[in-house]
Structure 1
Amino acid sequence: MMHSCVTIALVPQIKSGPWIFWEDLEASMAQASRLGFDAIELFTEDAKSLDKGLLDGLLSKYSLKLAAVGSGAGKVIQGLTLTDPNPEIRTKAIHFIQSMMDFGAHFGAVTIIGSMQGNALPDRREESLMHLQEALEYLGKHAEKLGVPLIYEPLNRYETNLFNTLGSGKAFVEGLSTRHIKLLADLFHMNIEEIDIAQSILENGPWIGHVHLADSNRRPMGMGHTSMKEIAAALQQINYQGAISAEAFPWPNPLEAAEQTIKTYQQYFKK
């Protein structure tokens, strides 16, 4: 069964990003619970910046689950990517993501690799892809030990030159020996890169492990020109069972953005 999810960011350095709620964790969780969300997706500075016991208590208090944790702070704050030409930085990036995986797995939550994948160097694409492959093989084995898949996110061309579509992402992870890495279908990135979003979902369904919900302008779904009907039908057709998580700008404000998101979820997924 698909479940509704909303993003909460606790990292000041990424405050301008596409997150619905900010700063006050408990107040954000209280709002999410009141509106009827099933889960939250959390962005923290690192794996130690939030006490697990505290989060356990808040999740129980507000009847929410932790669906996913983001790793983007590793790049934003520490400048770490998996494709950096410096082996020391790559090692630190792997360890950062591994620690986030350990944190998330405590709650049964997946960890997302988005911006920390980095970029291929000019004229050295194969070398960069080799670094990415080595990192994902290692982290995929760790995901197997944890019993929670790792999520790799194809980003649009303005954010990475590695893999921009679900199909290209699938071709890469399919070539790995690990089978514990899934893909993130981010509707905002897909709006830029895919010929047909719904068709791409149908073609790559078995590999999709997480979904980010945002409209064409990265405002909450229903505030742009993305046609949600076909996308929702495709997700239902592939029997997607994960989170539909709102990674969108808090426009016009966090509360109204959250209200619009849960309205969309109930319209298309809660039949």
Structure 2
Amino acid sequence: MIKGISYLSFENGLANTESIESALAQTKKFGFDALELGISTEGILTTNTSKAECLKIRQTIDDSGVFVDSMGTGISWGISPTSNDEAIRKNSIKLHEDALKVAGNLGCKALLIVPGVVKSPISSDIVRYDRALDRLRDALNHLLPIAEDLDVDLCMENVWNGFFYSPIELRDFVDSFTSDKLGIYLDIGNLIGYQQYPPHWIELLNSRIKRVQVKDFQENFDWTGSFSFCDLGAGDVPWKETIDALKVINYQNTIIAEMLPWDETILSRTSAAMDQLFDFK
């Protein structure tokens, strides 16, 4: 397993006005081996980034010695492939096609996507579940041939979107496609927010897990109903059992920490916690 950090964990996240060179330097400075880039419709890396620009960025990456083989995008939060608006759905598919092409031009092997929204605290969309499934399937049927041509894994993240809250449903949905480029980007901390046990998800999803993201979550089950994301190791994720489960399925790709919100010590704290939890050296 490879110790990594998400571009979202840097100051200002995707709106970061610093260069990718700066992010690469900080990745090394704080003891991470890998960096996961972020792509959106605005910012340093966008769906309009040219192939020539990508090649320059890849040369910078290679010169840095930092491992970069994945990108993440949250385009679906604002422009969802499951939207009730057909024009928005078409735009979402086009933007994700462009994101895949940028990933391919950068030499990345995985793209994290949010698989649309049924209902979420961070989106105004409310979509009937069966319609969301049909619309996502349509979107993936457009995207997977591109992913195959580019040799980029299209990885659906489990997020707070009212969608795929069962590992069995998610497993069977992935298996309903013939493409081996469709997989899962398992976010460990997100599972705790809807009362799930990460080791069981890992056992059930197994090799369908293409990439792993980590954060921690603290839930206080009392009359206040309070909860919060927190430092790695300070929450309710059963880390030993989770890491053991990853080892059982022989997961060897990146472990990307996505830690928000930024503060001036979050990278150093996160790096130290990952070393302790995963025995990174």
For the aligned pair, the TM-score class normalised by the smaller chain equals 0.7 to 0.9
Q: Which moved more, 1:139-148 or 1:206-215?
A: 139-148
- Structure 2 residue matching 1:222: 3-state secondary structure: coil
1:60 aligns with 62
Is 1:185 matched with 2:186?
Answer: yes
1:49-128 pair list within 5 angstroms: 49=49, 51-72=53-74, 74-75=75-76, 79-106=78-105, 107-114=107-114, 117-119=116-118, 124-128=128-132
Among residues 243, 259, 267, which one is paired with 2:268 in the alignment?
Answer: 259
Q: d(CA) in 1 for partners of 2:232 and 2:142?
A: 35
Distance 1:60 1:151, change over 3 A: same
1:42 aligns with 37
Cα shift readout 1:210-257 (whole Å, capped 9, x = no counterpart): 111101143331232323111111111110121100111145x24x22
What number of residue pairs does the alignment pair up? Answer: 256
Q: Which moved more, 1:126-135 or 1:214-223?
A: 214-223
- 8 Å Cα contact 2:117-2:132 kept in structure 1: no
> What's the CA shift for 1:167?
3.1
2:134 aligns with 130
- 8 Å Cα contact 2:71-2:108 kept in structure 1: no
2:163 aligns with 162
- Unpaired stretches in structure 1, ≥5 consecutive residues: none
- 8 Å Cα contact 1:7-1:21 kept in structure 2: no
Q: d(CA) in 2 for partners of 1:261 and 1:26?
A: 21
TM-score by length of 1: 0.83
- Structure 2 residue matching 1:142: 3-state secondary structure: helix
TM-score by length of 2: 0.80
2:280 aligns with 270
2:200 aligns with 199
> What's the CA shift for 1:206?
1.2
Root mean square deviation, CA, Å? 2.7
Q: d(CA) in 2 for partners of 1:122 and 1:192?
A: 20
Q: d(CA) in 2 for partners of 1:258 and 1:207?
A: 29
Distance 1:118 1:54, change over 3 A: same
Q: d(CA) in 2 for partners of 1:20 and 1:152?
A: 19
2:253 aligns with 242
Identity over the aligned pairs, expressed in percent? 22
- 8 Å Cα contact 2:35-2:67 kept in structure 1: yes
Q: Which moved more, 1:257-266 or 1:240-249?
A: 257-266
